[in-house]
Amino acid sequence: MKMLFKSLFAATSLVTISLSMTTRAEMVRPQAVNQVDIQKYGGKWYEISHLPMYFQRKCIANITAQYSVNADQTIGVLNSCRTANDEMVSSEGVAYPQNRGNSKLKVSFLPKGLRWIPFTKGHYWVLRVDPEYKVALVGGPSNKYLWILSREPQLDEATYQSYINTAKDYGYDVTKLIKLPH
């Protein structure tokens, strides 16, 4: 009886520890980096992969983002991609810094005169960026959106996996990532 009690206690302890570790892992929310130098962040980025989303549904290749710093410290955004009919399409927007470190932005792709409308801006958080601003992981406060960006159209597998692991640590379902050619 004493041995059965010890075995039951050990099993219960293992299950409790396992559940508490899972709960802690599931509670990890995406965190933006403290600081982004928006001058260094500006320029052309190639999308290496992204989570599926409605507004990228027609893109089949060559997805890029071009960022430029405006005089008022907002960031001009020009997203482009190639569609199935071999057409290059683009969408122009503006990003508004939401913190002093410029790592949390809100982006609007509405026409200029409509950007004041509440709840029409999407989150754009820089979750990780290498010191030389060559690779970035971008998401938001939820696990709904995710992009891996690079200054080059190709990214070596070790670096890519490192950024995938960061995304996993933040609770993203990286099995759903879409990787399109350049």
Distance CA 65, CA 101 (A): 21
Q: Which residues contact 181 (CB under 8 A, 6 or more apart)?
A: 61, 62
Distance CA 59, CA 168 (A): 25
- List the chain domain ranges: 1-28, 38-176
Strand, helix or coil at 109? coil
Give yes or no for residue 12 having a pLDDT over 50. Answer: no
Q: pLDDT tens for residues 114-145? A: 888 888 899 999 999 999 999 999 999 999 99
Residue 27 is predicted with a pLDDT of 56
Mean pLDDT score across all residues of the chain: 87
For the domain covering 38-176, report its CATH number: 2.40.128.20
Question: Taking the complete model, does pTM exceed 0.85, yes or no?
Answer: no
Q: Mean pLDDT across the stretch 141-159?
A: 96
Single out the residue of 25, 22, 68, 20 nearest to residue 45, CA to CA.
Answer: 68
For 90, other C-beta atoms within 10 Å of its C-beta total 10
Strand, helix or coil at 22? helix
